[in-house]
Amino acid sequence: MAKILIVDDEIGIRELLSEILRDEGHDIILAENAGAARAARNAARPDLVLLDIWMPDTDGVSLLKEWSANGQLTMPVVMMSGHGTIDTAVEATRIGAMEFLEKPIALQKLLAAVKRGLARIKPAHAPSPLGLGAFARSVPLRDLKKRLEQMAEKSRVILLRVGPGSLAELCARTLQRVGSPWLDLSLSSLPLELSTLEGARNGLLYVPELFYLSRPQQKNLVFAMDRLERHGQTLVVASEHQPEELIEHGWDERALSRLFEVSLAPPALGEIRDEIPEIASQVLLHNVEAGEVPARRLSSAALNALRNRAWPGGYVELKAAIKSLALGTLEEEIGMEEVAHLLGKNSPTALLGLPLDLPLREAREIFERTYFEHHLQIDGGNMTRLAEKTGLERTHLYRKLKQLGISVGKRHDESGN
């Protein structure tokens, strides 16, 4: 029979529902809160979930949103509550719940709901791409998601001012509605046809970097931007460059004025280093759910090693690294050694190779050089930011960098002004 996950913080309800459904021949998995439900969902892949709304750690609707955002809402979910409202039921259904049962749950209603849910099981399909909603436990990523959605309510064009370590694709995917088209305007230089835009109706148009668009691609972007309202589309573009640089590169000033009208500077991956373990775990889980990699998990040491690496390529680089690790690791658990072996020690922050048999003074000098090179890379050589992060006065900072043999050119100096 089917595997059914019952999530409820009341032990009496869990035991009652479990007894009824076991008598029907089903395999039952129990979870007392959202944390246990996440673990059970990942380990057991249930055919159906009975999910309580009111729980002490995370409410059921929030957990439902999380599963929907990270591509894990692949099974029917029946919501349960003793204090339900019509609004809550409507919201849960909108997110993806199959139906809503009010406690105390009558036996026949329970069995009927389970029967309907199991009848609706469909063949596995590729989950939607990850957006920021998949990282519900990350405060900075939750805030970033709110800012993006607030902007998108009033503007169809959003420019992301990015640098090394960009989260641009993750931000753009956040604004892509589930099941809607995604059109990357940087992938073709052929004239953009109306039929292509029509085929991407209500979808998201994306450009990962304005600077690299050819003249024909720039014209395609303007052509699409003029028709966003007509086709119900949102345009998200990203760039490391200022308008003056883009104008020198051949961009039309009026087009840039429209593109830069509403902009946001999302944090670089290096600025939210503490969130990297969760991002990596969710990316790996998403790849497993999509059938792109075998079932794998990241050890705590591996997650810490990933956290300590520099990611100049940002989310795109991290995503590719996780897939490579999952495909290249022979064991089910990906360890720290696999991270070093398969990804290489190409990061100044990978301190695993720091020699510990040196005198303290020499070891400290190596660490300080690694530390400053890391932050210079993260901030693009911006000395003002480096001084703020390290807590050093600018004159002292320059002296320290000179002592360590780290060259800082005039361009870096000016970027901090």
Do both 88 and 198 map to the same domain?
no
Q: Phi, psi at residue 84, to the nearest 5°?
A: -75, 155
Do both 147 and 257 map to the same domain?
yes
Q: Examine the fold and report which residue of 264, 293, 326 is the final residue of a domain before the chain moves on.
A: 264
Q: Is 302 helix (H, G, I), strand (E, B) or coil?
A: helix
pLDDT band for position 410 (cuts 50, 70, 90)? very low
Q: Examine the fold and report which residue of 205, 239, 264 is the final residue of a domain before the chain moves on.
A: 264
Asked whether residue 150 is assigned to any structural domain, the reply reads yes
Query: How high is the mean pLDDT of the chain?
Result: 87
Highest mean pLDDT among 131-135, 220-224, 248-252: 220-224
- What range does the domain containing 280 cover? 269-348
Q: Examine the fold and report which residue of 264, 290, 322 is the final residue of a domain before the chain moves on.
A: 264
Asked whether residue 126 is assigned to any structural domain, the reply reads no
DSSP class of residue 132 equals G
Do both 246 and 284 map to the same domain?
no
Report CA 5 to chain centroid distance, whole Å: 26
Query: How far is 355 from 365, CA to CA, in rounded Å?
Result: 11
Do 347 and 381 touch, CB atoms closer than 8 A? no
Highest mean pLDDT among 69-73, 221-225, 281-285, 405-409: 221-225
Do both 11 and 111 map to the same domain?
yes
Rounded to the nearest 5 degrees, what angle is found at the Cα of 75, between the Cα atoms of 72 and 79? 100
Do both 157 and 206 map to the same domain?
yes
Q: What is this structure's pTM?
A: 0.66
Do both 82 and 11 map to the same domain?
yes
Asked whether residue 60 is assigned to any structural domain, the reply reads yes
Rounded to the nearest 5 degrees, what angle is found at the Cα of 296, between the Cα atoms of 292 and 301? 135
Asked whether residue 193 is assigned to any structural domain, the reply reads yes
Residue 127 pLDDT exceeds 90? no
Do both 260 and 171 map to the same domain?
yes
Do both 260 and 246 map to the same domain?
yes
Query: How far is 257 from 60, CA to CA, in rounded Å?
Result: 44
Do both 279 and 399 map to the same domain?
no
Q: How many residues does the chain have?
A: 417
The secondary structure element, H or E, covering residue 334 is strand 333-334
Query: How far is 255 from 253, CA to CA, in rounded Å?
Result: 5
Do 2 and 26 touch, CB atoms closer than 8 A? yes
pLDDT band for position 357 (cuts 50, 70, 90)? low
Query: What is the number of structural domains in the chain?
Result: 4
In this prediction, residue 86 carries a pLDDT of: 75
Sheet with 48-52, side-by-side order of all strands: 27-31, 3-7, 48-52, 77-81, 99-102
Which residue from 256, 254, 273 is spatially nearest to 347, judged by alpha carbons? 273
Q: Mind spelling out the 3-state secondary structure of 83-119?
A: CCCHHHHHHHHHHCCCEEEECCCCHHHHHHHHHHHHH
Residue 348 pLDDT exceeds 80? no
Residue 362 pLDDT exceeds 70? no
Report CA 194 to chain centroid distance, whole Å: 32
- 69-90 confidence digits (pLDDT tens): 877 888 999 999 887 677 887 8
Residue range 293-298: mean pLDDT, rounded: 93
What are 186's two structure tokens? 């940087």
Do both 145 and 170 map to the same domain?
yes
Residues whose CB is less than 8 angstroms from the CB of residue 17 and which lie 6 or more positions away in sequence, other chains included: 6, 8, 50, 105, 110
